[in-house]
Structure 1
């Protein structure tokens, strides 16, 4: 017995003007909801306020806060892209495939690189703040 065929979905009409801004915001919120399902993103979300508290305790300047936020937003963006890669790869290769492993490993490497950049920055700020006191 064959499963019933479903008609292909039509591509939605392009949204333009101010409505596009609201649609794009909705898509971003949808992405944030999906990303919240990832443990790594929840850890990043927890680390940011802890780092902000640490910076406040150290009395660092506005430049350090700005760099911290840029690095964290970059980390969130890369984590979102890594999750997108994983979603696509899982769809394309439900069984183990070498290309799937490679794609996931490369996405993980990108995330790790930004985690390291955040760590280097945090370590530098903490070391410099403690060395000056």
Structure 2
């Protein structure tokens, strides 16, 4: 008796074929994220902030932290977009559980932006306060 084929063909792939297809799926995720205005705005900020992290950070640890927080905002936004897409697939009608799921995702994005902003402001404050006599 043969084993049934997996529903998801990705599960049957091994080695580099699995890595290659996973990378293609991830690129599809970035394309889907790019369709979201919030993600595009955050990418625009990241284009400015990631190079600035090398100027603001005084050590490699500070630079890595500043850059990681910017990337964290992008990650949380992609996860929020995934939650919203899954909820929208269920149906267009209003439901309190759907609203709660979307609100929680939005709150996660807000917290990531607040955390990023607070750390960046503290780093900028430290950099410019030390520069003034």
Higher relative contact order (CA 8 A, sep 6+): 1
Q: Which 4+ stretches in 1 moved above 3 angstroms?
A: 52-61
TM superposition score normalised by structure 2? 0.84
Describe the superposition over 1:45-84 as per-residue Cα deviations: whole angstroms up to 9, x where unpaired.
1112322454455574332221122112222111111001
Give the gaps of 5 or more residues in structure 1.
Answer: 1-9
Note the residue ranges of structure 2 that are not aligned, 5 or more in a row.
1-5
1:49 to 30, 47, 50: 47
Classify 1:16/1:55 alpha carbon distance in 2 versus 1 (closer, same or farther; 3 Å).
closer
Counterpart of 1:20?
A: 18
Contact 2:53-2:66 within 8 A present in 1 as well:
no
Q: Which has the higher helix share?
A: 2
Does the 8 A contact of 1:93 with 1:100 survive in 2?
Answer: no
**Where does residue 30 of structure 1 map in the other structure?**
28
Q: Deviations over 1:79-111 (max 9, x none)?
A: 111001100111113111111111000000011
Alignment root-mean-square deviation, CA? 1.8
Pick closer, same or farther for the CA change 1:59–1:97 going to 2, 3 Å.
closer
Residue 17 of structure 1 and its aligned partner are, at CA, apart by 1.2
Inter-CA distance 108–59: structure 2 relative to 1 (3 Å threshold): closer
